Amino acid sequence: MRILFITSNKDKFEEARSIGKRFGFDIEWLKKEYEEVQGNDLEEIAKKSAELLTSQIKEPFFIEDSGLFVDALKGFPGPYSSYVFKTIGNDGILKLMRGLDNRKAKFVAVVAYFDGKDVKTFKGEVSGEISREKRGKGGFGYDPIFEYEGRTFAEMGEEKNEVSHRRRAMENFFSSIQGS
Ligand code: ITT
């Protein structure tokens, strides 16, 4: 089955395509920057942003909104992950975390799918830790500082797609549409 993924982020698309392939879905990229509604809750942001897009895109599509939530920073950058990455970036996060022993963090992804009629959301989460320094050459965004079972996502290559927040959200999404 072919499904349209709307995102401006090529890395997100590549990962989604690779995950989709494992489940027999052919993910097609519609490269587009869309208006992201503001808010504190990823699920609500994804749902409302997809609903806004339905005025332009009439066929079924999905978007996906992700965020990094750091325990010791009370969930920051969370829904502001995109802005924070563009401004202070990984070095800024590492600086904020200097001297902190609680390194716990999670990545959350929410897929919002428009089936031609309604928008439904599917969530995926992965727990890990913020590393003490950037490590690894793969991945994108916060991958060099997000550690999962001893390796950063940037050190995991394709294995990231077996355990990531994106994988988990997409797995929930695929299993819900598989039977329909
Ligand atoms: P679209 O909204 O156009 O899809 P985006 O890059 O703005 O693209 P998000 O809002 O979902 O995507 O991403 C928020 C930030 O989190 C952004 O800076 C990404 O680089 C980062 N991010 C998302 N998924 C990630 C992942 O799997 N690994 C590392 N960083 C990630």
- pLDDT tier at 43 (50, 70, 90 boundaries)? very high
Classify strands 146-148 and 119-130 as parallel, antiparallel or unpaired: antiparallel
Cα-Cα-Cα-Cα dihedral sign, residues 45, 157, 84, 94: positive
DSSP code of 153?
Answer: H
Number of structural domains found in the chain: 1
What percent of the chain clears pLDDT 70, i.e. is strictly above it?
Answer: 99
Q: Which residues contact 100 (CB under 8 A, 6 or more apart)?
A: 72
The per-residue pLDDT for range 72-130, each reduced to its tens digit, is 999 999 999 999 999 999 999 999 999 999 999 999 999 999 999 999 999 999 999 99
The answer on pLDDT for 167 being more than 70 is yes
- Give the C-alpha separation, 180 to 172, whole Å: 14
Nearest CA to ligand 1 atom 31: 141
To which residue do tokens 């978007």 refer? 63
Q: What is the pLDDT, as a whole number, of residue 38?
A: 84
Ligand 1 interacting residues, C-beta cut-off 6 A: 7-9, 12, 33, 65-67, 81-82, 85, 139-143, 153, 164, 166
Nearest CA to ligand 1 atom 18: 82
- Catalytic sites, residue numbers: 65
**Domain range enclosing 128:** 2-177
Strands (E), the chain: 2-7, 26-31, 61-70, 104-114, 119-130, 146-148, 151-152
Specify the CATH number for the domain of residue 90: 3.90.950.10
DSSP code of 59?
Answer: S
Secondary structure (3-state) at 17: helix
